[in-house]
Structure 1
């Protein structure tokens, strides 16, 4: 009996030490995890190393594995040029105005993106349909109250705004697809570098928030243009 008690006294601490060691050993992840966190300036960051996130921002961390679609980020604004519409700020011009138009953008493969009638961009134009129901169509309406601008000018403003949103939506989707591909390539455990050290991942983690912010800005510009047109009671068929 005395020998049995002695054995128990020796084994108990040893078992505790082994349990502590096994707890400290890293467990191989089932798949690559990406962490998204937001700093005090509402800037969104992506990282594969949670330990690199400052302690004070740990409560903003969300795990993103292979999302169907990255959420829109809130980062710094990207001003556009002057609109010529009183009541709109200088940053509120549709993206591809002939005055100060930004250069053509390309996707991750280097192909120039062509605008289309995407459903996502159309939804930005239809948000105010209910408010436009009471706005008259253009038959025999005077020019007063339309800032002295005719149908062609207003149509051009709305067309430019819509195309800018559509193009930027395509750019954002191309970067989201590329980021998903990079994450997926690390999920099998065959990658040479950790996800956090992959130059392509670092590149996408920097570019995507900027492009998402640009898309948000263009959508805000379109909503402001709609609001200004509503205020001036611009005919609904001048916005098509």
Structure 2
């Protein structure tokens, strides 16, 4: 009897161990399945995130490339416009000077005829010399003013380029652009003054020795006043350009802002 009970106990223990083993195996299979599922999900999430990240980088890169391309196109157009205006201004001045050259020759003959009434040949030659001298001074100084307006135009163009870079980097450049517009208008006004001055001829109307001295002094004063007026317009243009530069300098770290020139550098 005891032996039977002992055998039954052993059988029960064996059955219990077998059931426990089956349960353990079942749990392990379930755990392995869950681990595989999690691993698969993680891999899928990583692939999705990587794809999204690559897509985002591609979109940003594309936007940056388009921004750089648009920036470069705008700058090239601006440079072309500046050069075009300079060439137009130069062409107008050259045409004006050619016109003045013809008028100077005509007026010189008229002055000579009027001076024939003066018996003193020395005074006649002095008057003829002063006629040439006054008009040469006008030509020389207007050419100088022309160069000044060109330099101011180039300076403002560089300021505008830096303002465009600042705008491309998200900076507020409204004030700078307003100052640049004022500077451009002032430069155009100065150019107009230079062009008008380049077309002037200074001559003497006197036909006798008594009036000649007064006439010469009057033309000297007129030339001086005219050149001072042009100089004032140049100064106003220079001041306006300086104001645009001061406005640009208010932008934080403006000298460090850049827009890359090539698409490969962006990538």
Q: Please classify the TM superposition score into its range, dividing by the shorter chain length.
A: 0.3 to 0.5
Please, what TM-score do these two structures have when normalized by structure 2? Answer: 0.35
Please, what TM-score do these two structures have when normalized by structure 1? Answer: 0.38
Structure index of larger Rg: 2
Greater percentage in helix? 2
